[in-house]
Structure 1
Amino acid sequence: MDRAPEAPIDRAPEAPDGVPEAPGRLPEAPDDGTVTAADIARLAGVGRAAVSNWRRRHPDFPRPVGGTSASPVFSLGQVTAWLRGQGKLREVPIEEEVWQRVRAAAGDTSPAAVIGEVGVFLLHLAAGTAVPPASSGTAWDAVLRSVQQLAEAWGAREALEFLAGRHIETHSRRSDITPPQVAALMADLLDPGAGPVLDPACGPGTLLLDAVRGSQRPLFGQERDAGLAQIARTRLAFRTSGASGASGASGVDVRAGDALRQDAFAGTTVDAVLCDPPFHDRHWGYEDLTADPRWEYGLPPRMEPELAWVQHALAHLVPGGLAAVLMPPAAAGRRSGRRIRAELLRRGALRAVAALSDSHHLWLLRRPSGAAPPGVLMVEGAEPDAVVRLWRAFQHAPDVDEPGIARAVPLIDLLDDEVDLAPGRHVAASGSARTTQEYVRTRDRMAALVRRLDSLVPDAEPAAPRDVPDTSVSELVRIGVLTVLQGPSGRDPDPDPAGRPLLTADDVAEGRAPSGRVLPGEPWITLRTGDVVVTAAARRFAARVVDEGGALLGHHLWLLRADPAALDPHYLAGILRSTANTRSAAGATTGGRTDPRRARVPRPPLDEQRRLGAIFRRAQELEHALRDGAALGGEMARLLADGVVQGRLRPPAS
């Protein structure tokens, strides 16, 4: 899914010309509508945990007006009034105001239908054919006015992508959204020069958007949620024709309806089908579809709707056409589906199974157009680029064998009593030759690291004690030498591979690159080169200097931004790790959290700070190198044992 541009954290977007009210203003008279705890956190610029604390500690906090005990919703008007009365209502970015108006317009129903209608308005707006909303009219006019303002600030397509992304984020627990990296992989697997593409369970259009890739191929989609179908239709119209017209792009046909029960494209064949069907849908229409002609390979069992979607995809392919269908891993070995799996193999329809994760397998199928191939490609634990490479190679050389990653398995080996298609069962473990190569490579890395260690030992010598003036971090903030910022509270958000890099507390403690990735949605702070980041979730400081800016500051982290003309950041990071500072900061708080503002920093001359900073930096590099060495040592010991067992490693000749 495409991401809308992230609004700046420290200021609201500039007001576009001709708009009477600037974005970033406080809301006027509160609209009717409801908000979740996450929405309240965004309005106040705090984390979810702060909202929970307010509910417990403030008897006058608005009561829920709906939802469940686990996911309550509140009156937008009551919440806005309470936040304003408490002085907690921050300036609201225009995108947040638009989102709240859309939610209010949706009422108790899903916002998808409203976003779909907004998408049509944005298409007209981009084409210059939109009817301007009345300056004083209905609540819907107010929605369109705010949407127009967002479009003028961001662009019409980006405005739609923001609303679609926020809806997907809000409903992520109730709907399965294809991971972006998986969607990109499925599009990469399309045959070169492939024409029309169909997604019979397209949701908000994620797979079809990836299938565009600058091509003018016709795109067909079906989605049982009419609102999501409209969102997909407008997103694809923007992607394929830009602002060329509000009527949508030629060659894009997205319809609402249940593709299994009411196939909107019956009789239509395409070159490719991309599909991430709803897993475990036990009410897929078994009773009504028992005699359906799509079941060429057998009647799908009542409890295996995934095999219905596989056959639906095959029924829409031209001979030789490719279907890429995401499947739950259990579908590879359920006893109830073994007859259909066997028939897919015998007739040459199933060509490859790739285990992408613990929750997703990818089946690649072709509509039979000749003799069945001699085997099926099985892939386990490969990166997306490797999956594409292996699939391309398999088309020309059906004897692929990369131990530990992929193997072309003969049909005779698959057509047993179980017909188990789990790749892990068929991909051979790493071969003995590979074990030997990996051992030699790991041994050489260890030898190079050992040679490097001597140069990393800090070069400091004993000296007579001397008095050096020191001051607290809080005082440095007061005099303008330091800026101190704190990351959001609460638990780390669920990662999103399409999001921006997020530095976590574990990353700081272990000295590694940012490992998190998140979409916009909280008041994230963007890191700059030279920032000092400190963990605040343990009774010891782990501080590091940011080498490359651009990542976001994660939960339970503090950021200390020094004036480099007065304070060296590497010196500051080293001083913060001292035992005295750890005790002082940890002893000042409860719950095991540290507060670096109580730390004290000696202030020698700047040139001496820089020399000491270089020593601190070398000491930290040594710490990280020793940690890497421990990991290499464990891996080398394992490979040595494997090589000895395989008879491929022995002591050198004396």
Structure 2
Amino acid sequence: MTERDDPVTITLAGIARLAGVGRAAVSNWRRRNADFPVPVGGTDASPQFSLDDIESWLRLHGKVDESTGGWERLWPRIEDLGDRERMGFVVAESGLRLAGTPRGDGRVDVELTDTEQGLVAEVLRLAQPDSGRAGFRILLERWLSTHVRQVTTTPRPLADTMVEIAAELRDGAEIRHVVDPACGVGNLLESAARRWEERGDLRLTAVDSDPVSARLTLARLTLEHPAARIAVRTADTLREDPVLDRPADVVLCNPPSNERDWGHAELATDRRWQHGQPPRTESELAWVQHILSVLGEGGVAVVLLPPAVASRRAGRRIRAALLRSGLVRGVVALPTGAAPPYGVGLHLWMLSTPGRPSSESSVLFVDAADCRTTSSGTRGTVIDWDSVRDRTVSALRGATVRRTAVVPVVDLIGDETDLTPARQVPAEAAATAVDLGRGWAGLDSALLALRDSGAVLRPLGVANGPTEPLDVSIAELEQSAAVALAAGVAAPAEEVRRGTRPDGAVEVVVAVPSAEPSGEVQWVDFDAAQLLERAGEAVLTAFGDVVVVGTAFGFDAWVETDAPRLLGQHLYRVRVDGNLLDPFFLAACLRVRANARRAGTHASTASRIDVRRLRVLRLPVEEQRQLGELHRQLVKFEQAVEDVGSVGRQLGGTLAALLADGRLRRP
């Protein structure tokens, strides 16, 4: 391979990452410093600079962030290889070398150029202070983000959900062999290893037709999970049908979809088509039958498929045959945006080998498309993965769960054999006259509360104040012992429960609110919460503490009145000295959006807020208490406004439902 003599280049965004600042800061450096390097390529809108020149300039002006600069300086040199495969092979070889895998050990070996070998050596040098796992993750993430249009991955929350569903399907049976026949970069197997590796003797088998993806999967699993027995093969799974060392206990797969050239003609007599030869347009059903062919006795599979697979007429006969054989345990409809393509609500098919009466006689349908958290922030909605997992697992355990249904196989087989959950799950109960009456009563009550709250605030006026009021930062208050700051942490998963919180249990507060029905929360046993706090693994609130959300999305601050509660990640507890600060006044100052903008990075709605940079007005404590009381009234007013909106939307929905049913009449 030809070695390149052109200079390694870097963009403005890359310079910002290298220096640990925002892109706006780099633009300011470029505008204000005459000695800032000139572009060597790119366009006016997206200029490119020589990496060597930029590094020299940053060192000269003392602007290099040494804590992360090593990896950020290395990545442009890897990216300069200019080829997806060569970049991927360098990252993979680095991971294998960090894991201690010798070259020429019988696995797929890739010849690297001298330049590429030098990059691998630089990775090993940078990783010397630790195990190298963090550095490999950085490089893999950068490779994936650079080639996001060419590489499809399974998001980690979805991968973890598929693993949890598979564990429930196994119903406590031992899991020693997990297979992914279309592994990509190994997200599903990595989640499986985290879930089951501690049981010992776990075998992971991965197959992918892309040699770069297969190599990266091998490096990733070898480095992250050295105790597992790992086998990665490069093969076209459908055409070559690679033979496994032993049948699979669990198969997790996100196969390619909407393929036409998958081998339909040459595989016409393949032994795997036990339930019918898949039509050319049904490559997904070819994958389903391949997956079933590698399952051992009692084996289970969770497969991510497009929604059309459940209803396309061309696949009706195969779906019917799968149902008759008792192989389909259930179908889960996921919210839109769960995985690429993000504009489609994908399905999870739950499969198992025959042998259980329940799987032979009925199919579970779970419509989790509504498991979303809606926010007034600019990010709109996000998927509530806890709700998806809980709804599915609870239904598998036989619990009565909303938007789920168990349908006999005999009722599914027909002209369409449609396995779409939304068409099998019963519709919500129809609106009644009682619902309408409750809606109007609720609206009247909410409007009355809003009027009373507004009457308290309406007489308030605006006083003249100093043009530049004196204020103080949380950091300064912390130094003077007026406040004590503690950052929330994620509670250990094994201690967290979900559902209706029992008396005496401690609620877990999260930065992104849950979409569960009222009363359904995360909670931890009180004694366990206290033990976690003493061990430094949890942060508990007390009455009067101020809680601050440490992200721009959902930023808020409030005074704890329902303590004790356990704070999750991105939440901060500010404990005040009551002789120096009024907590309600403090919360009023902290929650102002302008305060968050000054203390944040402004890069996006997901940017962090440096809580210590938030400002508080400097006032005598007596005046603080007066303003703090006004803040309490303001909170009541805001809650009343929110209640009116919520009750109004519910009432509007009831009226619309009655109108659509033709049951709405004038008196």
Class of the TM-score when normalised by the shorter of the 2 chains: 0.5 to 0.7
Query: Residue 215 of structure 1 corresponds to which residue in structure 2?
Result: 199
Q: Which 10-residue stretch deviates more, 101-110 or 321-330?
A: 101-110
Aligned counterparts of 1:92 and 1:441: Cα–Cα separation in 2? 62
Aligned counterparts of 1:367 and 1:299: Cα–Cα separation in 2? 19
User: Is 1:40 aligned to 2:15, yes or no?
Assistant: yes
5 Å-filtered alignment, 1:505-584, equals 514-515=511-512, 571=585
Aligned counterparts of 1:545 and 1:351: Cα–Cα separation in 2? 46
- Does 1 or 2 have the higher relative contact order (CA < 8 Å, sep 6+)? 1
Q: CA deviation at 1:204?
A: 2.2
Query: Residue 596 of structure 1 corresponds to which residue in structure 2?
Result: none
The C-alpha deviation readout for 1:86-119, integer Å capped at 9, x for no partner, is x69542433x522542552461223322222111
Query: Residue 324 of structure 2 corresponds to which residue in structure 1?
Result: 346
Could you tell me which runs of 5 or more consecutive residues in structure 2 were left unpaired when the two chains were aligned: 103-113, 337-344, 369-386, 480-492, 494-508, 515-540, 561-565, 599-614
Q: CA deviation at 1:55?
A: 9.9
Q: CA deviation at 1:306?
A: 1.6
Query: Residue 177 of structure 2 corresponds to which residue in structure 1?
Result: 196
Give the conservation status (yes or no) of the 8 Å contact 1:533–1:545: no
Q: CA deviation at 1:31?
A: 11
Q: CA deviation at 1:531?
A: 8.8
Q: CA deviation at 1:552?
A: 5.8
Q: Secondary structure at the match of 1:470?
A: coil
Q: CA deviation at 1:304?
A: 2.9
Query: Residue 115 of structure 1 corresponds to which residue in structure 2?
Result: 91
Letter in 2 for 1:336: A
Could you tell me which runs of 5 or more consecutive residues in structure 1 were left unpaired when the two chains were aligned: 1-29, 127-136, 242-248, 394-399, 484-497, 499-511, 518-527, 554-561, 586-599, 649-654
Structure 1 length as normaliser, TM-score? 0.64
1:93 paired residue among 67, 86, 100:
67
Q: CA deviation at 1:409?
A: 1.9
User: Is 1:632 aligned to 2:647, yes or no?
Assistant: yes
Rate the CA distance shift 1:141–1:353 in 2: closer, same or farther, 3 A: same
Query: Residue 100 of structure 2 corresponds to which residue in structure 1?
Result: 124
Q: Secondary structure at the match of 2:189?
A: helix
Aligned counterparts of 1:194 and 1:412: Cα–Cα separation in 2? 32
Give the conservation status (yes or no) of the 8 Å contact 1:176–1:278: no
Q: Which 10-residue stretch deviates more, 369-378 or 266-275?
A: 369-378
Q: CA deviation at 1:234?
A: 3.5
Give the conservation status (yes or no) of the 8 Å contact 1:272–1:317: yes
Query: Residue 277 of structure 1 corresponds to which residue in structure 2?
Result: 255
Rate the CA distance shift 1:99–1:571 in 2: closer, same or farther, 3 A: same
Q: Secondary structure at the match of 2:277?
A: coil
Identity of aligned residues (%): 36
Aligned counterparts of 1:179 and 1:124: Cα–Cα separation in 2? 28
Query: Residue 385 of structure 1 corresponds to which residue in structure 2?
Result: 390
2:353 paired residue among 356, 367, 382:
367
Rate the CA distance shift 1:231–1:473 in 2: closer, same or farther, 3 A: farther
Give the conservation status (yes or no) of the 8 Å contact 1:568–1:606: yes
Query: Residue 601 of structure 2 corresponds to which residue in structure 1?
Result: none
Q: Secondary structure at the match of 2:397?
A: helix
Q: CA deviation at 1:74?
A: 6.2
Give the conservation status (yes or no) of the 8 Å contact 1:80–1:89: no
Letter in 2 for 1:215: R
Give the conservation status (yes or no) of the 8 Å contact 1:98–1:143: no
Rate the CA distance shift 1:200–1:142 in 2: closer, same or farther, 3 A: closer
Aligned counterparts of 1:262 and 1:71: Cα–Cα separation in 2? 44
Q: Secondary structure at the match of 1:354?
A: strand
Rate the CA distance shift 1:341–1:40 in 2: closer, same or farther, 3 A: farther
Q: Secondary structure at the match of 1:318?
A: strand
User: Is 1:608 aligned to 2:623, yes or no?
Assistant: yes
Q: CA deviation at 1:513?
A: 7.1
5 Å-filtered alignment, 1:235-384, equals 235-241=220-226, 249=227, 251-266=229-244, 268-358=246-336, 359-369=345-355, 373-381=360-368, 383-384=388-389
Give the conservation status (yes or no) of the 8 Å contact 1:31–1:77: no
The C-alpha deviation readout for 1:369-403, integer Å capped at 9, x for no partner, is 5887222211102621120121233xxxxxx875x
The C-alpha deviation readout for 1:52-96, integer Å capped at 9, x for no partner, is 99999999752546xx999997653455467678x69542433x5
The C-alpha deviation readout for 1:333-355, integer Å capped at 9, x for no partner, is 22322222222222222221110
User: Is 1:225 aligned to 2:210, yes or no?
Assistant: yes
Aligned counterparts of 1:147 and 1:602: Cα–Cα separation in 2? 50
Query: Residue 419 of structure 2 corresponds to which residue in structure 1?
Result: 421
Q: Secondary structure at the match of 2:182?
A: coil
Aligned counterparts of 2:41 and 2:582: Cα–Cα separation in 1? 50
Length, aligned pairs only: 525
The C-alpha deviation readout for 1:3-35, integer Å capped at 9, x for no partner, is xxxxxxxxxxxxxxxxxxxxxxxxxxx995454
Letter in 1 for 2:17: R
